[in-house]
Amino acid sequence: MTPAGSLLVAQDLHKAYGPTPALDGAEFSIHPGEVVAVMGPSGSGKSTLLHCLAGIVTPDSGKILYDGRELSAMSDAERSALRRTEFGFVFQFGQLVPELTCVENVALPLRLTGVKRKEAERRSLEWMERLEVADLGNKRPGEVSGGQGQRVAVARSLVTQPRVVFADEPTGALDSLNGERVMQLLTEAARSTNAAVVLVTHEARVAAYSDREIVVRDGKSRDMMLEHSV
């Protein structure tokens, strides 16, 4: 079941919040440089799958292997360190820190890993340039549009050059045009750095930017591409 050369693999994940199961034997795998869409109706457990894969939430049972290491065997501090250095995150509403300027927001993950402020902001500006928001550097998130803010968020997710980017409904709050542009920039940037992208979405047009999709329904996952090739 586990394709060789996978960067991140999950097997038989179970997770329940109280009596309601969110994951019920879900599977997942992704290669470096691959974009995988996680689809499914709301409440199907796709966000929980993402949180488990990213080591934010520990599954009740099941195995998550990142780069050959067992995620659930790591301590909270180790998983946090992993998220700081190897993973990037994009959320639906950007979740930028409102009082920091855009460039400071982008630099935040770098600074958390101990990079000096000047250096962090210089590298952040490079990424903001790639995402066409370099001119917003000194503005606060409240002063930029939703699309711009989301591009800043994408820049923030990529600035540490992560090996996996987790994107949870990254275009959910944007109109089609802005959403398309964000997806295009995100996937291009990820491909250019050979980063894998786990893309949680319920929109087919967003999922179409992926290389393959996984459907989650009632906590169970289905890898359509795999089934077709079999």
Partner 1 sequence: MSLLRDLALGARFALSGGREGWTRTLLTAVGVGLGVALLLGTTALPGALNARTARDNARNDYGASVDGGPAADTLLIGRADSQYRGADVRGRLVQAEGAKSPLPPGVSALPAPGTMAASPALRDLLASPDGKLLRERIPYRISSTIADQGLMGPHELAYYAGSDTLKQRKDTADDAAEVMRVNAFVDKQQEKLDPILALLIVIIFVVLLMPVGVFIAAAVRFGGDRRDRRLAALRLAGADRRMTRWIAAGEALAGAAVGVVVGALFFVIGRQYVGDISVAGLNVFPSDIDPNPLLAAAVAIAVPASAVAVTLFAMRSVVVEPLGVVRASVPRRRRMWWRILPPLAGLGLLVPMMGRGRDRGMFNQSQVIGGTVLLLIGVTALLPWLVEAAVRRLGGGPVGWQLAVRRLQLTSGSAARMVNGIAVAVAGAIALQMLLGAVEGDYVKASGEDTSRAQLVVPLAGSDPARQSGELRTLKATEGVTQAVVLGSLNGGEKAKDPEHYTPVTVATCADLREVATLPSCKDGDTFTATGGDYPYDNIAKPGSTLCLDPALGGSKTRAAAVAWTLPAGTRDAPSRPDPMGQRRTGLLLTPGALPQHAKLPTRSTVYVSTAPDDALAKERVLNVAGRADPLTSARSLNDTQTSGRFAGVRKGLYIGAAAVLMLIGASLLVSMLEQLRERKKLLSALVAFGTRRTTLSWSVLWQTAVPVALGLTLAAAVGLGLGSVLLRMVGRSVTVDWVPAVSMVGIGAGVVLLVTALSLPPLWRLMRPEGLRTE
Partner 2 sequence: MSIGHTLLGLLESGPRHGYDLKRAFDEKFGHDRPLHYGQVYSTMSRLLKNGLVEVDGVEAGGGPERKRYAITEAGVTDVETWIRQPEKPEPYLQSTLYTKVVLALLTGRDAADVLDTQRAEHLRLMRVLTDRKRRGDLSDQLICDHALFHLEADLRWLELTAARLVQLATEVRT
- Contacting positions for partner 1 (CB under 8 A): 17, 42, 47-48, 51, 54, 56-57, 77, 80-85, 87-89, 91-93, 95, 97-100, 104, 108-109, 111-112, 117, 140, 156-157, 166, 169
Chain positions 165 to 204 lying near partner 2, rule: CB under 8 A, are 184, 202-204
Give least dist CB 153 to partner 1, A.
9
Asked if 40 contacts 216 with a C-beta cutoff of 8 angstroms, the reply is yes
Give least dist CB 2 to partner 1, A.
26
Nearer to partner 2, 115 or 182 (CB): 182
Nearer to partner 2, 157 or 210 (CB): 210
Q: Which does 74 bind (CB under 5 to 8 A by kind): partner 2, partner 1, none?
A: none
Nearer to partner 2, 60 or 211 (CB): 211
Q: Specify the 3-state DSSP secondary structure of 218.
A: coil
Task: Please report whether residue 229 would count as binding partner 2 according to CB under 8 A.
Answer: no
Asked if 133 contacts 108 with a C-beta cutoff of 8 angstroms, the reply is no
Chain positions 19 to 78 lying near partner 2, rule: CB under 8 A, are 39, 41
User: What is the DSSP track for 146-206?
Assistant: HHHHHHHHHHHHHTT--SEEEEESTTTTS-HHHHHHHHHHHHHHHHHTT-EEEEE-S-HHH
Tokens representing 214 are 């996984």
Nearer to partner 1, 111 or 123 (CB): 111
Task: Please report whether residue 209 would count as binding partner 2 according to CB under 8 A.
Answer: yes
Which residues face 70 on adjacent strands? 65
Q: Which does 57 bind (CB under 5 to 8 A by kind): partner 1, partner 2, none?
A: partner 1
Task: Please tell me the distance from the alpha carbon of residue 221 to that of residue 132, in angstroms, as a whole number.
Answer: 36
Asked if 56 contacts 76 with a C-beta cutoff of 8 angstroms, the reply is no
Helix (H) / strand (E) containing 38:
strand 35-39
Q: Which does 82 bind (CB under 5 to 8 A by kind): partner 2, partner 1, none?
A: partner 1
